[in-house]
């Protein structure tokens, strides 16, 4: 199987829908890669799924780089995208460029960042010009959760929907090869997908996008408070909990070893 890259992701638009996931370590990334997942996102969602934070905001650049390197070591076919954490690109362009370069040096094939302001779009353009592919992110942006007033669906009014559409066109013009559409109405996601030449990756945006994200812990049933739009394909929380409990019981009762 040929490794997924910017060109193959672009070529899939309108031809093949892509089921993409997050992963944060080599064990699960290897399994996702062997299963044929085309894009693995080393998401800042690790803050909530792996590190015990209530939001993504406390995730550090060092944590992102460590996780990216672990995933990249085993992803033979999947495209690895590193999520630039909060603070890594908000404190100046040079700092943002340095952190994007560090992600690529850690093994990422592309980086992801949130927003479509003039400053963010300029960053996207500069990164792309430097040879760093960028996957944009609009709609609900978890790094802006305090400004947005919580994890709320975006683009519900016509005015808000028009702004999301403008954001989508802005990141495409800036040079992003794909854009995440998070938690927006499916009708709006359909309009954006039809209007853009680049790939749209939906999460909580209905089934009309060119690709989908699922957080690994939601997909595998490890997160027992997953959002309503997520589908659970396994119940690993129950399996793992029972395995731990059985082990403890067997040791207590001298069954093992």
How far is residue 193's CA from residue 48's CA, in Å, rounded to a whole number? 29
Identify the CA nearest to 176 among candidates 241, 228, 239, 127: 127
**Which residue among 63, 182, 191, 250 is the active-site one?**
182
The C-alpha angle with vertex 117 and arms to 171 and 55, in degrees rounded to 5, equals 95
Residues sharing a CB contact under 8 Å with residue 37, sequence separation 6 or more, in sequence order: 19, 20, 21, 78
Does the annotation count 182 as an active-site position?
Answer: yes
Q: Measured between alpha carbons, how far is 209 from 199 in angstroms, rounded to an integer?
A: 8
**Distance in angstroms (rounded) separating the CA atoms of residues 174 and 158:** 24
Secondary structure (3-state) at 231:
coil
Q: Which residues are catalytic?
A: 182
């Amino acid at each position: 199987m040929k490794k997924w890259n910017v060109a193959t992701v672009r070529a899939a638009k309108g031809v093949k829908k892509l089921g993409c996931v997050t992963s944060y370590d080599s064990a699960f990334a290897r399994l996702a890669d062997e299963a044929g997942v085309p894009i693995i996102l080393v998401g800042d969602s690790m803050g909530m799924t792996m590190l015990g934070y209530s939001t993504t905001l406390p995730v550090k650049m060092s944590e992102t780089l460590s996780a990216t390197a672990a995933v990249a070591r085993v992803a033979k076919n999947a495209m690895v995208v590193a999520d630039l954490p909060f603070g890594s690109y908000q404190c100046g362009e040079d700092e943002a460029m340095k952190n994007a370069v560090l992600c690529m040096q850690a093994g990422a094939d592309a980086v992801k960042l949130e927003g479509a302001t003039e400053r963010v779009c300029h960053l996207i353009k500069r990164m792309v010009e430097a040879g760093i592919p960028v996957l944009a992110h609009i709609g609900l942006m978890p790094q802006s959760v305090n400004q947005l007033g919580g994890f709320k669906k975006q683009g519900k009014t016509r005015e808000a929907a028009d702004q999301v559409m403008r954001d989508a066109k802005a990141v495409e013009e800036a040079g992003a090869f794909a854009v995440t559409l998070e938690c927006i109405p499916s009708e709006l996601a359909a309009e954006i997908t039809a209007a853009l030449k680049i790939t749209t990756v939906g999460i909580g945006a209905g089934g009309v996008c060119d690709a989908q994200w699922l957080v690994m812990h939601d997909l595998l049933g490890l997160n027992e408070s997953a959002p309503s739009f997520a589908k659970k394909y396994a119940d690993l929380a129950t399996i793992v909990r029972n395995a731990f409990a059985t082990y403890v019981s067997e040791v207590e009762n001298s069954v093992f070893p």
